[in-house]
């Protein structure tokens, strides 16, 4: 990190002309000493004015970076807040990013070298700018950000990410409505105001206020998200029409490919520091970006120019307390660590300072459960022992009937499990990789007051030794349905000796997307298919005495839109039917979850184990 801190001056609303004459406005932070500095650029749709950012907003702050010897530009993207033009997510961010980078490099206070930084949307604007190859762009620092915007951001396994995308659009509509001088529908205005207040209260850590706000938001969402077809959701076309574009493009087609970062893995050859969270909605994307960009570089060059940090975090937060879990004191200094690391990273790449950054390990992982950081040389870990854990039952694995069991032993001749999935009574979302918008988020106790017959539960015996699971998780499922389309969901859970059940990861597959996200086909009712459910990735130490639980069902609402058990675009489907599902686990159809087990997991910390 730069040793000498500088006093900082701020210039507000600096106009930057794009190639089509549209002016985008930025705030500029510079050291007061008048000389040339490397430039750090962030392009945001969430308001460039730092004073409006909640405490929990993405760090580091522009004033801090400027004090380290950088000219820092925070720019409103096209059509947002002070900037001119019409807003359409990502549509012009490649060209506008290129133009802004080159403008910054040409300024008299610039050294000619530009880096970009930021999380979530501000990570995507980095990748899009880099795809246009502006010559002055030298390094990227993306965190909590996406790769395939189709498969993770808007859809997952073919299912629509209803909760996060609906609430995100409502948030974005506030500025659009103000710009156009038009009002928002009353329930959406109430939701937007409640979510804004929640962000403020969460920043102030006002526990009782947060709980009350969350209850109100859940009540609002329960009314707003129920309509079918999804075309009838109350989003005005003139304020958030791109929401319906997403619904119309329900397959992974050219609409999505134009902004797919995965297409750039072999083209963008810039240094990157990737940061993500195990409970972030972009957890898998962060890992995919690190692997994808590293793969196209020579091994030694890749180790220096691509680095990865994965914490236990939810989207955009470096807090130690997430959901129902306290991740311990090693998380307490995360925000300061990220601030300092950001400066050290850019000092190395933009100033050429030999500060030891190049020698730091390429991968740093937070191992949940034992709650410790560990450095690694690669991702996924080369020493991984992939183990199949199989589901078993006597045909009564339904949660309401006692459940089945999970073990490393393959099944023999066992009867299948069956349940009825009714879209009018879906399994409710409880935690997981969603945004903080009023629902339970991250790791949450999964115990239900009333067991459900449409949830299959498979639980292992208490573990005889600690077991670390670090890496990608896949579910291989043999199943049949009497519908032409349906969903299958899977959830991995850590069961504590006292009965607490904490979700680790989950996933979904829409049956019609079983072979291709670009070319879905209905299923043949009654036919058995082999499905793969992607549960993304984790790093979790299951302690001795804990049990591993796997839940299977057909809904996770409102995180994902309900499959009505009919085939077609979700925007148009309105006919609801009950589907009867059959899950097979026998010698020729051995349904199982593939766990990335790390041999020689670090020894038990006695105090940690006692706390579990």
Domain ranges of the chain: 8-153+254-376, 159-249, 385-597
Say whether pLDDT at 612 is over 60: no
**Which candidate in 280, 288, 445, 466 is catalytic?**
280
Tell me, what's the pLDDT at 491? 98
Q: How confident is the model at residue 6 (pLDDT cuts 50, 70, 90)?
A: confident
Tell me what pLDDT residue 317 has: 86
User: What is the percent of the chain where pLDDT is above 70?
Assistant: 94
- Quickly state the pLDDT bin for 561 (edges 50, 70, 90): very high
- Quick one: CATH architecture of 8-153+254-376? 3-Layer(aba) Sandwich (3.40)
The pLDDT of residue 591 is: 98
Q: Is 315 a catalytic residue?
A: yes
Residue range 385-597 in CATH 2.60.120.260: yes
Comparing CA positions, the residue from 43, 259, 57, 52 lying closest to residue 174 is 52
- 54/27: higher pLDDT: 27
The whole-number pLDDT of residue 238 equals: 95
Look-up of token digits 């949450």: 444
Q: What pLDDT, on a 0 to 100 scale, did the predictor assign at position 302?
A: 61
pLDDT at 212: 83
Catalytic residue among 315, 392, 546, 585: 315
> What per-residue confidence (pLDDT) applies to 59?
64
Do 310 and 366 form a contact (C-beta atoms < 8 A)? yes
Is residue 280 part of the annotated active site? The answer reads yes
Model pLDDT, residue 210: 77
Cα–Cα distance for residue pair 247/259, rounded to 1 Å: 16
Does 299 have pLDDT greater than 70?
A: no
389: alpha, beta or left, given left = phi > 0 and alpha = psi -120 to 50?
A: beta
The active-site residue, picked from 67, 120, 317, 460, is 120
Mean pLDDT of 47-52: 84
How far is the C-alpha of 250 from the C-alpha of 571, rounded, in Å?
A: 9
pLDDT value for 259: 94
Peptide bond into 380 cis (omega under 30): yes
Cα within 13 Å of Cα(61), Cβ side: 15
């Amino acid at each position: 990190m730069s040793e000498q801190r500088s006093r900082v001056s701020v210039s507000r609303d600096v106009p930057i002309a794009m190639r089509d004459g549209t002016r985008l406005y930025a705030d500029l932070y510079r050291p007061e000493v008048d000389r040339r500095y490397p430039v750090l650029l962030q392009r945001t749709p969430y308001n460039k004015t730092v004073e409006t950012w909640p405490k929990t907003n993405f760090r580091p702050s522009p004033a801090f970076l400027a004090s380290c010897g950088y000219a820092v530009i925070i720019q409103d993207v096209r059509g947002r807040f002070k900037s001119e033009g019409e807003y359409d997510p990502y549509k012009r961010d490649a060209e506008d990013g290129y133009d802004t980078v080159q403008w910054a490099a040409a300024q008299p206070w610039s050294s000619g070298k530009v880096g970009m930084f930021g999380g979530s949307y501000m990570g995507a604007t980095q990748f899009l700018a880099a795809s246009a190859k502006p010559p002055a762009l030298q390094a990227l620092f993306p965190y909590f950000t996406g790769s395939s915007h189709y498969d993770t951001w808007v859809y997952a396994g073919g299912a629509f990410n209803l909760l996060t995308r609906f609430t995100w659009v409502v948030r974005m509509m506030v500025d659009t409505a103000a710009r156009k001088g038009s009002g928002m529908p009353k329930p959406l205005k109430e939701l937007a105001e409640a979510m804004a207040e929640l962000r403020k209260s969460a920043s102030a850590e006002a526990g009782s206020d947060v709980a009350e706000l969350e209850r109100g938001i859940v009540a609002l969402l329960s009314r707003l998200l129920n309509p079918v077809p999804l075309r009838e959701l109350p989003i005005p076309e003139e304020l958030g029409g791109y929401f319906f574009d997403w619904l119309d493009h329900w397959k992974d087609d050219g609409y999505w490919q134009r902004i797919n970062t995965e297409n750039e893995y072999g083209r963008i050859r810039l240094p990157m520091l990737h940061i993500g969270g195990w409970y972030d909605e972009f957890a898998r994307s962060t890992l995919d970006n690190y692997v994808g960009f590293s793969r196209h570089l020579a091994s030694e060059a890749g180790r220096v120019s691509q680095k990865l940090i994965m914490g236990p975090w939810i989207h955009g937060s470096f807090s130690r307390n997430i959901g129902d879990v306290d991740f311990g004191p090693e998380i307490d200094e995360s925000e300061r660590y990220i601030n300092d690391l950001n400066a050290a990273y850019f000092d190395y790449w933009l100033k050429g300072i030999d500060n030891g950054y190049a020698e730091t390990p390429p991968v740093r992982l937070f191992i949940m459960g034992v709650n410790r950081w560990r450095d690694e040389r690669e991702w996924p870990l080369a020493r991984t022992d992939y183990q199949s854990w199989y589901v078993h039952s006597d045909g009564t694995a339904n949660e309401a009937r006692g459940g089945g069991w999970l073990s490393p032993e393959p099944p023999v001749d066992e009867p299948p499990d069956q349940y009825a999935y009714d879209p009018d009574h879906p399994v409710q979302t409880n935690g997981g990789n969603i945004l903080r918008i009023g629902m339970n988020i991250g790791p949450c106790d999964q115990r239900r007051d009333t067991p459900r017959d449409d949830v299959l539960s498979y639980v292992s015996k208490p573990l005889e030794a600690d077991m670390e699971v670090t890496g990608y998780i896949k579910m291989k499922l043999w199943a049949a349905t009497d519908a032409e389309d349906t969903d299958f969901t899977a959830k991995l859970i850590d069961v504590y000796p006292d009965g607490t059940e904490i979700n680790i990861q989950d996933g979904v597959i829409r049956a019609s997307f079983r072979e291709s996200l670009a070319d879905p086909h209905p299923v043949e009712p009654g036919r058995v298919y082999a499905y793969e459910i992607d549960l993304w990735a984790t790093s979790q130490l299951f302690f001795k005495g804990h049990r591993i639980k796997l839940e299977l069902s057909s809904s996770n609402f409102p995180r994902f839109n309900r499959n009505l058990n009919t085939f077609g675009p979700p925007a148009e489907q309105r006919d609801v039917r009950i589907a009867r599902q059959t899950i097979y686990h026998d010698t020729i159809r051995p349904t199982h979850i593939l766990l990335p087990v790390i041999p020689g997991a670090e020894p038990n910390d006695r105090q940690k184990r006692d706390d579990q």
